[in-house]
Structure 1
Amino acid sequence: MISILVVDDDPHLRKLIRVHLEQNGYAVTEAHDGDAASVILEAQSIDLAIVDLMMPNKDGFQLAKEIRENYDIPIIILTAKDSLTDKAKGYEAGTDDYMVKPFEKEELLFRVQAILRRFHRAAPQKIRLNDMILDKRSYEVKDGSKIIILPLKEFELLYYLASFPNRTFSREEIIQQVWGMDFEGDDRTIDVHIKRLRERFRHSHDFLITTVRGIGYKLEVT
């Protein structure tokens, strides 16, 4: 799975970016400033960094230079400034793209996808669970020679859980990721969809959807 680092001192913007990118199949790690980002970069593999320009401690320019010197990954700079000087400084620091706040989250996704294509990386379109394959391009579940077509939200729920096997998600997280932040229903909707998925795949030996009492659900590859 493609891993993206989002570095911004605004927690609300970080969450907005994370939710949208995770809904589109990316793994996202957040950092509140350049220093925290440096620690993350040393500890885990990152495929792309989205970096705010104006941050306390180590700013976006400094972080971009550090990334360019030590890691072979693309960088998108985010800033509230729209000046030629700042753009020039950003590119001199080694950034690959530049977006001015406020921006549409869909445009950020398009730019992320374009840059990853240039770097010969792409978001996963298929997830394998032993003999079962979830194909996001066709929204099909392939179980050997059998093709299963699920209702859209059931597929998106299964695909999301399968993207992070063995990770426990709260009902609130699932609602945000699969149904969106504007969803006005309640968490019983998730319980109903989980029940339907379990019934559909009750004979499967490829995975289990487990209830974590008091928290939510996780998918386990068997």
Structure 2
Amino acid sequence: MNIKILVADDDPVFRELVCDIVRKQGYNPIEACDGQQALDLYFSSNDFDLLLLDVMMPQYNGWEVLREIREHSDVPIIMLTALGDEVHEVQGLRKGADDYISKPFSYEVFVARLNTLLRKIKKERFAEITVGELKINQAAQKVTVGDLEIDLHRKEYNLLLYLLKNRNRVLSREQILTSIWGYDFEGDARTIDTHVKTLRAKLSNCGEYIKTVRGSGYMFDVNEP
């Protein structure tokens, strides 16, 4: 499994140190030297499994990057900072970070906390998702409704998975465009509407799970026990 990690820090020596640790764990680090580059890299590919964000960065600081990404994604994020007091740690977690590591940190502690988050990611990536008659085998990227396998194009599959993983949550067209088509996509909302219409048709009766929320966007509406 190729685990892709964005490492954003304006200190080149520290950034390379973190990237070296990440590589030794068998993961693929991608470097960003400031907050603007971190946002550009994240939204241009949207396939990162984990983000390591320094708090004190130029252009946009780590809090600003965290806030922008949290508007579109629940990707796991670890904040790295020299501001090692309890107030900043609580602030980071309240703002949506999954973990908070103070500099300088212990190699063993950093690796343990990194791998703890990534074990959860690996488990979720291969988990089979079932909602009623709809079943998604993520390992094989196979979608079935009842006994019928559904042929979905890549964007349709990614759209379905994104809606399903954010079930019962209203997603704006902007959020969907950014998350599925990327930050620099030059199309408009009609692209989403067309894909949703096609996806609903392909999913047959399960297409009814995808609700249009007038004036807002779309929601995968599931009433679970």
Length-normalised TM-score, structure 1: 0.52
Which residue matches 2:49? 47
Structure 2 residue matching 1:116: 3-state secondary structure: helix
In the alignment, is the contact (CA less than 8 A) between 1:8 and 1:51 conserved in 2? yes
In the alignment, is the contact (CA less than 8 A) between 1:61 and 1:89 conserved in 2? no
CA shift digits 1:189-219 (9 cap, x unpaired)? xxxxxxxxxxxxxxxxxxxxxxxxxxxxxxx
CA shift digits 1:51-103 (9 cap, x unpaired)? 00111121011111112221231010111112222112211210011111001
Q: 1:121 to 1:58 in 2, by over 3 A?
A: farther
Instruction: Give the partner amino acid of 2:20.
Output: V
Which residue matches 1:73? 75
> How far off is 1:40 after superposition?
0.3
CA RMSD, 1 decimal: 1.8
Structure whose residues are more often helix by fraction: 2
CA shift digits 1:171-206 (9 cap, x unpaired)? xxxxxxxxxxxxxxxxxxxxxxxxxxxxxxxxxxxx
Length-normalised TM-score, structure 2: 0.52
Q: 1:9 to 1:74 in 2, by over 3 A?
A: same
In the alignment, is the contact (CA less than 8 A) between 1:17 and 1:105 conserved in 2? no
Q: How many pairs are equivalent?
A: 123
Q: Which residues in structure 2 correspond to 1:14-33 (within 5 Å)?
A: 14-33=15-34
CA–CA separation in structure 1 for the residues paired with 2:121 and 2:91: 22
CA–CA separation in structure 1 for the residues paired with 2:42 and 2:115: 21
CA–CA separation in structure 2 for the residues paired with 1:115 and 1:54: 23
In the alignment, is the contact (CA less than 8 A) between 1:76 and 1:98 conserved in 2? yes
The structure 1 segments of at least 4 consecutive aligned residues displaced by more than 4 Å after TM superposition are: none
Structure 1 residue matching 2:71: 3-state secondary structure: helix
Structure 2 residue matching 1:70: 3-state secondary structure: coil
Could you tell me which runs of 5 or more consecutive residues in structure 1 were left unpaired when the two chains were aligned. 123-222
CA–CA separation in structure 1 for the residues paired with 2:113 and 2:79: 11
Q: 1:36 to 1:121 in 2, by over 3 A?
A: farther
CA–CA separation in structure 2 for the residues paired with 1:72 and 1:120: 15
Which residue matches 2:85? 83
Q: 1:87 to 1:40 in 2, by over 3 A?
A: same
Q: Which residues in structure 2 correspond to 1:25-174 (within 5 Å)?
A: 25-44=26-45, 45-121=47-123
CA–CA separation in structure 2 for the residues paired with 1:27 and 1:93: 26
